[in-house]
Amino acid sequence: MSIVEQHGFLQVKGNRIVDAQGKPVQLRGMSLFWSQWIGKYYTAETVNWLRDDWKCTVVRAALAVEPDGYLKNPEVEKKKLFTVVDAAIKAGIYVIIDWHDHNAHLHTEQAVAFFGEVAKRYSKVPNVIYETYNEPLQNAAWATQLKPYHEAVIAAIRQYDKKNLIICGTRTWSQQVEEASLSPLKGSNIAYTLHFYSGTHKQWLRDNATKALKNGVALFVTEFGTTEASGNGPVDRDETQKWWEFCDANGISWCNWSVADKNESSAVLKPGASPTGKWKDSEISPSGLFIRDELRRKNR
């Protein structure tokens, strides 16, 4: 039985994400890289390999908005996204449709149109999770810019899809979850995005997340890195372990950044790794081997 057959439509109860029966569910998996730059891994073969060999229960499709992304080439980027989403549905795992943007509130009209289209397409499918805004920057105001943006996009989704989970980005690269929890969005099955990079974000951010949870909102780590926030630097195993323990203790799902062969330490693949999976250990980076081991251990 697949993870989706087992759990069905996800929902938010209190500060937890639970399954269709109200039982706790914690997903663990991988995020793909910006679709316009490393789109070669947006394949059904990669999705299937991540499920079968890496034991992923969720994948995140990072639909790049700008530069040279969806705003410039909407059909090209949507085709990559749909390939991944349809493959994940067929594979029986969950999939995050991520509007991968740092200035989404400046692109509200385009986001509303996009999410309306995908919600109409996938409204009956329990696999799909909507992520409305990857990482707002620190100078975007929650009350006057981010919240109205999320409300507009949520309305567009809910016009067609009444129940699939929606995850909403928070200020400062999706770290200010406490701020969002003090003025939460109205509606059901809404969670908030928490991002961390272990080499940069430590106990202080876990403390912030704990406050948000105590205020009653649910969190989902749609992206994290084992490295510094730049995506480079040493792999911080000890701090990543602390984060995993925190996520496990609070039932928080996560996706690791990223399925890419870029020459940076957060990428799980070495340059030239196949776009169709079947990666040998020699093609996987130290961070990738570390992540794969955790996925295999936890998602058995």
pLDDT tops 90 at residue 182: yes
Q: Per-residue pLDDT averaged across 167-187, rounded?
A: 97
Instruction: Give me the helix-helix angle, 237-250 and 203-214, nearest 10°.
Output: 10
135 is catalytic: yes
Q: Per-residue pLDDT averaged across 156-184, rounded?
A: 98
Give the pLDDT confidence score for residue 31 in this predicted structure.
99
Count: domains in the chain: 1
Q: Which two tokens stand for residue 11?
A: 């929902």
- Its pTM surpasses 0.95: yes
Active-site entry in 131, 135, 178, 179 = 135
294 is catalytic: no
% pLDDT > 90, the chain: 99
Active-site entry in 77, 223, 228, 239 = 223
Give the pLDDT confidence score for residue 142 in this predicted structure.
97
Give the pLDDT confidence score for residue 155 in this predicted structure.
99
pLDDT tops 80 at residue 150: yes
The dihedral over CA atoms of 75, 78, 79, 80, expressed in degrees to the nearest 10, equals 130
Rg (CA), the chain: 17
pLDDT tops 90 at residue 300: no
Give the pLDDT confidence score for residue 154 in this predicted structure.
99
pLDDT digits (tens, 9 = 90+) for 63-88: 999 999 999 999 999 999 999 999 99
Distance CA 111, CA 158 (A): 14
- The boundaries of the domain holding residue 100 are 3-298
Q: Which of 131, 41, 128 is nearest to 80 (CA)?
A: 41
Q: What is each CA distance from 174 to 99, 140, 180, 220, 298, in whole angstroms?
A: 13, 11, 10, 10, 25
What CATH number is attached to the domain comprising 266?
3.20.20.80
Give the pLDDT confidence score for residue 60 in this predicted structure.
99
Distance CA 279, CA 63 (A): 24
Question: Residue 222 — φ and ψ, nearest 5°?
Answer: -75, -15
* Contact assessment for residue 266 and residue 227, using Cβ atoms and an 8 Å cutoff: yes
Give the pLDDT confidence score for residue 24 in this predicted structure.
96
pLDDT tops 90 at residue 137: yes
